[in-house]
Amino acid sequence: MPKLWQKTYRVNEQVERFEAAQNSALDTRLVRHDVWGSLAHAAMLTKIGVLTEDEHRALKEALCDILQLAEKGQFTITPSDEDVHTRVENYLAEVAGAAGKKIHMARSRNDQVLVDLRLYAKEQLQGLASSLLTLVETLWRFASAHTDVPMPGYTHMQRAMLSSVGLWAGAFAEALLDDEQLLSAAYSLNDQSPLGSAAGYGVPIAIDRQYTAELLGFARVQNNVVYVQNSRGKVEAAIVQALAQVMLDLSKLAQDILLFTTAEYNFFHVPQELCTGSSIMPQKRNLGVMELVRARTQTVLALQQQILGIVSGLPSGYNMDYQETKRPFMEALDVVRECLEICTLVVGSLEVNVDRLVAACTFELFATDRAYELTRTANLPFRDAYRIVGAEVTAQLDRHEPLPTESREQLVERLQKRNHLGGAGNLGLEQVAQRLAAVRSIWQERAATFETAIRRLIGPGQDDPGGQNSPTSASDGIQSEHGRA
């Protein structure tokens, strides 16, 4: 297969293998996105008179054929192809003749890979945001169903003050909504068209970058052509940094669920079909998926650092180092979406052990309540009341006797007194629901705008195999990409 950069010499096979041998699996994910970029570029070349209408028609038909072949698994990228751009262009030259040899006019593989990754990221983030918001809704429903179920609150891993299951679950719903804001900001940063920057210095031709941006559904053109190349890795890192925040919250959620489903806590129960067993201990039911969420948080943090480390200190312009950012970028997107979906499954399956939760709300949880009561009834300063109650509670705990508890009704009454904004008696779940609806609407609009642009680009009577928000399976493998120049 001829390389796009092929000249009169043959590259050493070991060099070629080192640079490109691992490229095929990753670039197979980008076939549709490369075709979309080529469709827009061909339309622009026709608009400015570089291609004739007949040439444009031939290219468009061939590009749409690639979409069909890719859907059937008949258009793949092999190591001999080097990258998706070479594979597509060689196919076009073979099928569309001279028109296929013209399509690379006014572009480079530098801006091709950038536009592919930007389009891939847009599609992936739309699907990932949908998974995130589904988990938020699941947590919101869980919180709404258990607003008055008392639960110990913990600091330093010790019982601290009265809480509720609703307060606990609502905390994670709000955390993930904040993470969505970071994800949304990264999406906006990504939503810039790099097409037309070529190798990073533009071209001496009056191309129409705004036109291609609009055809591809980008919000705007990324202006400075040098910065377009310099932003490779920066945009991916911003996305993965937002994903890392999601994972930090999922890790905390996973850790809580692991603790609260142990026999020692026994606050929650999970169905056995979500658990795996032990090869030696017949009784074991291990919630391994939550352990893996906890562990994969570290994976995403490492992927984030990998991207940042690669781009740190590079000079301006394209450098082959950038190819090493594709693998961690794609892997992070895969990992986070899968973790969101498994957390949704687990949270949606949790059963609450109300009796055990009530029994765990022992008297020391109300030491602060008692101190506040003394400030009113005995007209004491808080610090004096604090010391009196501290002595009382310490004496009770030192006796090592069974700790007194209250009835569920008494505990609910205490919860209701915590009625300030965001307290257990005033969770503000209606505000969470409003935020969720607003954010979901924004992402649905983004997805619809993107899908409309791509369908218009492909044209009537042509399907876009793969469809909107259907990310390639993680089992496709993570490879690296060949350098651009």
The catalytic residues are 156, 278
* C-beta of residue 51 within 8 angstroms of C-beta of residue 42: yes
Residue 64 makes CB contacts below 8 A (sequence gap 6+) with 35, 458, 459, 462
Q: How far is it, in rounded angstroms, from Cα 126 to Cα 448?
A: 10
* C-beta of residue 183 within 8 angstroms of C-beta of residue 128: yes
Q: How far is it, in rounded angstroms, from Cα 34 to Cα 37?
A: 5
Check residue 269 and give left, alpha or beta (phi > 0: left; psi -120 to 50: alpha): beta
Taking CA 75 as the corner, what is the angle to CA 69 and CA 76, rounded to the nearest 5 degrees? Answer: 155
Residue 309 makes CB contacts below 8 A (sequence gap 6+) with none
- Length of the chain in terms of residues written: 485
Burial of 1 (0-12, 13-18, 19+ CB in 10 A): exposed
Q: Specify the DSSP element, H or E, that contains 253.
A: helix 234-260
For residue 154, list its beta bridge partners.
159
- The total of other beta-carbon atoms located within 10 Å of residue 337's CB is 22
Q: What are the DSSP calls for 360-413, one per residue?
A: H-BGGGGHHHHHHHHHHHS---HHHHHHHHHHHHHHHHHTTPPPPB--HHHHHH
Q: How far is it, in rounded angstroms, from Cα 362 to Cα 357?
A: 10
* C-beta of residue 452 within 8 angstroms of C-beta of residue 431: no
By three-state DSSP, how is residue 41 classified?
A: helix
| Residue where the block lists tokens 């080192």 | 18
CA atoms within 13 A on the CB side of 420: 0
By three-state DSSP, how is residue 291 classified?
A: helix
Tokens of 198: 């070529």
Sign of the Cα torsion 97, 101, 104, 105 reads negative
C-alpha 298: how far from its chain's center?
Answer: 15
Residue 382 makes CB contacts below 8 A (sequence gap 6+) with 371, 372, 375
Q: How far is it, in rounded angstroms, from Cα 82 to Cα 73?
A: 18
Q: How far is it, in rounded angstroms, from Cα 39 to Cα 457?
A: 7
Whole-Å CA distances, 236 to 64, 178, 191, 481 = 28, 20, 12, 15
